[in-house]
A = this chain, B = another copy of it.
Amino acid sequence: MSHPDAFTRLIQALCVLPNVGPKTAQRMAHALLQQNRQGAAELAHALQHALKQVNHCLDCNTFCEGERCNLCADPQRDPQRLMIVHMPADVAAMERAHCHDGHYFVLMGQINPIQNMDLNSIALEKLVQRLARSTISEIIIATAATAEGDATAYVLIELLKAQPYRISRLARGMPLGSEIEYVDAGTLAQAVYERKQLNHTP
């Protein structure tokens, strides 16, 4: 079965979506054109509108409309503490956890040599510029607890260690609510290795 060119082109275009291969793309294309042409038109417009409107925040590098995002524009946030994360979704997760009242910097990526993502895939230069014009005293590296997160954290530490910032990284160990029996071996080993001393007996 051969498709008209425009259909084939749409299928190929849909393959840019994460985790969408040719088969899924074909199903999507069929659904859009056969059952929901209005939805397809709206998707096209939304894409064009977003491409025109959505920029990177000048301060934290996250997606925003306008020059600065709401968080960076908020005078209530502590200007001394900066948390560095991979993605905008991580900012949202942190805000849901109500555990950081300072500012963020969004790298918009991570170091992942296997996927050819090197230093250029994270916004290091913009971070350096951000730090140069700030009053930040503490930097919290909140990269993922994965190999890619470790690699990214390592690059950040190398970049920042000569500067007069207090640098810390998220604690690793037992997730809240976990029973020993069901925690994976790597996490258990980490939790024992980084166990927290509770008294001052040497």
Q: Which residues of A contact B (CB under 8 A)?
A: 83, 85-87, 89-90, 92-94, 96-100, 140-146, 149, 157, 161, 164-199, 201-202
B145 touching A197 by the CB < 8 A rule? no
B196 touching A145 by the CB < 8 A rule? no
**A161-B199, A169-B198, A175-B175 as given contacts; A180 in contact with B146, CB under 8 Å:** no
A174 touching B172 by the CB < 8 A rule? yes
CB-contact partner of A196 in B99, B164, B168, B187, under 8 A: B168
A180 touching B99 by the CB < 8 A rule? no
Copies in the complex: 2
What residues on B are CB-neighbors of A194 within 8 Å? 171, 173, 196
What residues on B are CB-neighbors of A197 within 8 Å? 166-168
What residues on B are CB-neighbors of A143 within 8 Å? 180
What residues on B are CB-neighbors of A185 within 8 Å? 93, 96-99
Of all chain B residues, the one with the shortest Cβ separation from A156 is: B198
CB-contact partner of A145 in B83, B89, B172, B178, under 8 A: B178
A164 touching B94 by the CB < 8 A rule? no
What residues on B are CB-neighbors of A149 within 8 Å? 179
Shortest CB-to-CB span from A131 to chain B, Å, is 14
**A90-B180, A176-B184, A199-B166 as given contacts; A171 in contact with B191, CB under 8 Å:** yes
Docked complex Cα distance between A51 and B201 (Å): 42
Of all chain B residues, the one with the shortest Cβ separation from A143 is: B180
CB-contact partner of A170 in B93, B167, B168, B192, under 8 A: B192
Shortest CB-to-CB span from A122 to chain B, Å, is 15
